[in-house]
Structure 1
Amino acid sequence: MLSITQELYDAIVAHARRDHPDEACGVVAGPEGSDRPERFVPMVNAAGSPTFYEFDSTELLRLYRDMDARDEEPVVVYHSHTATEAYPSRTDIGLASEPHAHYVLVSTREHGNSEGPVEFRSYRIIDGVVTEEEVTITPTEKSTP
């Protein structure tokens, strides 16, 4: 099960809408071994495509170095589908290289960059096997001074 704050959910959906009609992509990092998504990291879709996403290799290397320095790992790897349902394509499955990550897909096919509901689904993808999981959206905690 993926448990994600409303703030992170909203940030992922906003990124998907903003980049429509191209696919959006990014990572939500969290403390190593915690399964807690905490730090939203929107990435550039180097493919600039409505049907495919690709992380920029330089940007991705920088992100992994940064996560390593912070003792973080990618808890969520997300991208959007602009014309199809929020289900991993064969290409998505082939690119899934983080066995502990939640793979989130957001479909913007109904409303594009406009307001309106989106399809937001999460999967575990391990050795080519796709398993959908429940998503729980929790209130964003207010930090105390």
Structure 2
Amino acid sequence: MLTITRALYDQIVAHARADHPDEACGVVAGPAGTGRPERFIPMLNAARSPTFYEFDSGDLLKLYREMDDRDEEPVVVYHSHTATEAYPSRTDVTYANEPGAHYVLVSTADTDGAGPFQFRSYRIVDGEITEEEVEVVETY
């Protein structure tokens, strides 16, 4: 199960809505070994595409160095789907290289980025997708 604060949940949704119609992407880092998402890090979708996201390799390298310096790890890797449901695509599964992370998808399909949305979380390990419950809390 993913337990996430309302503030982080709202930031992820706001990023997805702001970048619509392009896919948004980012990371929520947390203290290494805790599994607790704490630091919201919106990233630029280098592909600038409504159907595909790609982290800029330089930005990603900088992020991993920064997390290492802060003794953090990626707890949540998120992105949005603007035309389909919040379920990992084959490309998403290929990109899922953090077996300990929660992969969050926000769908803004058919909403123009402003209406109802789906917020779902998955574990993706060795190509296997497992949906998990999301618990939104006010604080940890």
- Tell me the TM-score normalized by structure 2: 0.98
2:55 match:
55
1:130 match:
129
1:28 match:
28
Give the deviation of 1:34 after TM superposition: 0.3
2:116 match:
117
Q: How does 1:37-52 map to 2 (within 5 A)?
A: 37-52=37-52
Counterparts of 1:79 and 1:119, CA distance in 2: 12
Q: Which amino acid aligns with 2:111?
A: H
Deviations 1:32-90 (A, max 9, x none): 01000000000000000000000000100000000000000000000000000000000
- Of 103-112 and 66-75, the range deviating more from structure 2: 103-112
Structure 2 gaps of 5+ residues are none
Runs ≥4 residues deviating over 4 A:
none
- Of 103-112 and 4-13, the range deviating more from structure 2: 103-112
1:5 match:
5
Structure 1 gaps of 5+ residues are none
Counterparts of 2:35 and 2:107, CA distance in 1: 24
- Tell me the TM-score normalized by structure 1: 0.95
Counterparts of 1:112 and 1:3, CA distance in 2: 28
Counterparts of 1:43 and 1:105, CA distance in 2: 15
Give the deviation of 1:19 after TM superposition: 0.3
Alignment partner of 2:26: what SS?
strand
Alignment partner of 2:35: what SS?
coil
1:88 match:
88
Q: Which amino acid aligns with 2:86?
A: A
Paired residues, number: 140
Give the deviation of 1:111 after TM superposition: 1.3
Alignment partner of 1:74: what SS?
strand
Alignment partner of 1:85: what SS?
coil
